[in-house]
Amino acid sequence: MSRLLIIGCGGVAQVAIKKCCQNSGVFTEICIASRTKEKCDRVKEEVDGWTKTKVTTARVDADKKEEVVSLIGSYKPDAVLNVALPYQDLTIMDACVECKVSYIDTANYEAEDTNDPAWRKIYEERCKRLGFSAYFDYSWQWAYEERFKEAGITALLGSGFDPGVTSVFSAYALKHYFDEIETIDILDCNGGDHGYPFATNFNPEINLREVSAPGSYWEDGKWIEIEPMSIKREYDFKEVGMKDMYLLHHEEIESLAKNIPGVKRIRFFMTFGQSYLTHMKCLENVGMLSTEPVEFEGRQIVPIQFLKRLLPDPATLGERTVGKTNIGCIFTGKKDGKEKTLYIYNVCDHQECYKEVGSQAISYTTGVPAMIGAMMLVTGTWKGAGVFNIEEFDPDPYMEALNQWGLPWVVEENPVLVD
Ligand code: NDP
């Protein structure tokens, strides 16, 4: 019996909402609140026919803490699931502290206005201190530790697939298979085809900013940053086949480096086809990925936001996307003094996801873990006052829930390693 406030109603949120509605024994009531209330109403209409969960909707601008506080005050949820954008993480966390309600998200804080001088000063200092230049990092949210502790509430950071499930795979590997993990390679393969010349599988602004940024990995206690897309490997993914993949910076590297004791190297690879990369390079070269506003016919336009307007809405890709994703982690390390290697991964079929919830697998593989993270907190399975990355909790109940709620995983011994 619980009441969940879900903020955001995009691709990921719509899967999380439908999964909560399937899990109506736990989520007896949910409120879907977003900037565009009509979207929330449409999803409510879709689920009302079949779910026992009582669904209500609301309009909220989550950039404004007062609006979130007022909504929490009137709805009185047991927890808030933030599946809006990383830009809203801090305002929603502030509201949760004020109202003493637990918080779950799927992506770490990113500043929307990267030209804000106050933000830039902190950012530039961090780039120097830590050695990676991504616009997002955990320091902003980890800084809430004392406030969450004092309020006696939990913040569960990063309950998507990556970060999220990949981080839980790491905790599970450490708990059951290794005495010491030496390296982690996170491999994110999307073998799906939506038939468009170019589209992104989740929010284009967030996605393109991530992919066009310098890559980086963690080795021997420090970050090594590389030119964007300059480390390429090939890998033969189970149920997908041979794919090119590129080393990217990714947020879970930062938390795993802190939470997996003694880990020596963590890398993240994502697959991209040549056509995607050619389109992206071209858009970048002409300035369409820029977040700097430009003046056009008397109006200020942010190029990447205009591009988002032109690209297909990721939430509409489901019907056309065929193929599978394969996302997981390859671990090397030691057990009982012997060298050991292990691969834990999930394969997810785009069309199966579409049949079940009307979404493609990228939204599905993020929305299901978002629901599971919320379930871990509202059922009291995971407890603790403070700010936690997902790998800090016992992975077993989460791994069980993945099998139960549509993301079964495979453990493979002695996999092919990435050089
Ligand atoms: P979408 O752009 O599809 O959806 C974002 C939603 O947030 C929209 O409904 C939007 O409203 C709403 N929103 C935006 N700004 C505000 C605001 N100020 N107040 C209230 N609502 C707002 O994004 P996705 O669903 O693709 O992604 C959602 C989150 O999931 C992102 O943080 C993304 O980074 C994360 N993610 C995490 C992954 C993981 O594996 N960990 C993988 C993929 C995504 P409107 O409809 O009005 O635009």
C-alpha–C-alpha distance, residues 141 and 134, integer Å: 15
C-alpha–C-alpha distance, residues 348 and 328, integer Å: 11
Separation of 347 CA from ligand 1 center, angstroms? 23
Which residue's CA is the nearest one to ligand 1's atom 4? Answer: 10
Helix (H) or strand (E) holding 154, with range, is strand 154-157
Q: Which atom of ligand 1 is nearest to the CA of 85?
A: 32
Q: In the structure encoding, which two tokens stand for residue 135, read together?
A: 């616009």
The half-sphere exposure of 339 on its side-chain side, counting CA atoms within 13 A, is 3
CB 63 within 8 A of CB 88: yes
Q: Which atom of ligand 1 is nearest to the CA of 162?
A: 40
Q: Could you write out the DSSP letters of every residue in 88-141?
A: GHHHHHHHHHHHT-EEEESS--B-S-TT-HHHHHHHHHHHHHHS---SB-SHHH
Architecture of the domain defined by 3-157: 3-Layer(aba) Sandwich (3.40)
For residue 347, what are the contacts with CB-CB under 8 A and spacing of at least 6?
Answer: 238, 239, 240, 324, 325, 326, 410
Confidence band of 211 (pLDDT split at 50, 70, 90): confident
pLDDT at 317: 87
Separation of 233 CA from ligand 1 center, angstroms? 30
Q: Which atom of ligand 1 is nearest to the CA of 314?
A: 3
Separation of 104 CA from ligand 1 center, angstroms? 14
Query: Has residue 315 got a pLDDT over 80?
Result: no
Q: What are the CA-CA distances from residue 101 to residues 13, 29, 265, 328 (Å)?
A: 19, 16, 36, 32
Separation of 106 CA from ligand 1 center, angstroms? 10
**% of the chain residues with pLDDT over 90:** 91
pLDDT at 210: 80
Q: In the structure encoding, which two tokens stand for residue 27, read together?
A: 């989520």
pLDDT at 41: 98
Confidence band of 314 (pLDDT split at 50, 70, 90): confident
For residue 342, what are the contacts with CB-CB under 8 A and spacing of at least 6?
Answer: 173, 177, 178, 330, 331, 411, 412, 413, 415
Separation of 206 CA from ligand 1 center, angstroms? 9
Q: What is the pLDDT of residues 217-272, one digit of tens each?
A: 999 999 999 999 999 999 999 999 999 999 999 999 999 999 999 999 999 999 99
Q: What mean pLDDT, rounded, does the chain reach? A: 96
Fold for domain 165-359? Dihydrodipicolinate Reductase; domain 2 (3.30.360)
* Overall size of the chain counted in residues: 419
pLDDT at 1: 85
Separation of 11 CA from ligand 1 center, angstroms? 7
Which residue's CA is the nearest one to ligand 1's atom 3? Answer: 10
Separation of 42 CA from ligand 1 center, angstroms? 17
Separation of 247 CA from ligand 1 center, angstroms? 24
Query: Has residue 297 got a pLDDT over 90?
Result: yes
C-alpha–C-alpha distance, residues 390 and 370, integer Å: 11
Separation of 336 CA from ligand 1 center, angstroms? 44
Q: Would you state the torsion angle of the CA atoms of residues 9, 15, 19, 21, taken in this order, to the nearest 10 degrees?
A: 40
- The strand pairing partners of 388, in sequence order, are 156
Query: Has residue 182 got a pLDDT over 90?
Result: yes
Confidence band of 208 (pLDDT split at 50, 70, 90): confident
Pocket of ligand 1 (CB under 6 A): 7-13, 34-36, 39, 60-63, 83-86, 88, 106-107, 160-164, 202-203, 206, 314-315, 366
**% of the chain residues with pLDDT over 70:** 100
Question: Per-residue pLDDT averaged across 24-46, rounded?
Answer: 98
Sign of CA dihedral 37, 40, 41, 42: positive
* E-assigned strand segments in 177-276: 180-190, 215-219, 222-226, 232-237, 241-247, 265-271
The half-sphere exposure of 12 on its side-chain side, counting CA atoms within 13 A, is 26
In the chain, what are the domain boundaries?
3-157, 165-359
Q: Residue 73: what are its φ and ψ, rounded to 5°? A: -60, -40
Which of 7, 34, 190 best tests ligand 1's pocket when mutated (most atoms within 8 Å of CB)?
34
Which residue's CA is the nearest one to ligand 1's atom 10? Answer: 8
Which of 6, 9, 12 best tests ligand 1's pocket when mutated (most atoms within 8 Å of CB)?
12
Q: What is the pLDDT of residues 323-372, one digit of tens each?
A: 999 999 999 999 999 999 999 999 999 999 999 999 999 999 999 999 99
Question: Per-residue pLDDT averaged across 151-179, rounded?
Answer: 98
C-alpha–C-alpha distance, residues 262 and 274, integer Å: 36
pLDDT at 213: 87
Which of 63, 68, 80, 366 best tests ligand 1's pocket when mutated (most atoms within 8 Å of CB)?
366
pLDDT at 207: 82
Considering the entire predicted model, what is its pTM? 0.95
Question: Per-residue pLDDT averaged across 375-390, rounded?
Answer: 98
Q: In the structure encoding, which two tokens stand for residue 167, read together?
A: 């981080």
Q: Which atom of ligand 1 is nearest to the CA of 9?
A: 9
Separation of 112 CA from ligand 1 center, angstroms? 13
Which of 15, 67, 203 best tests ligand 1's pocket when mutated (most atoms within 8 Å of CB)?
203
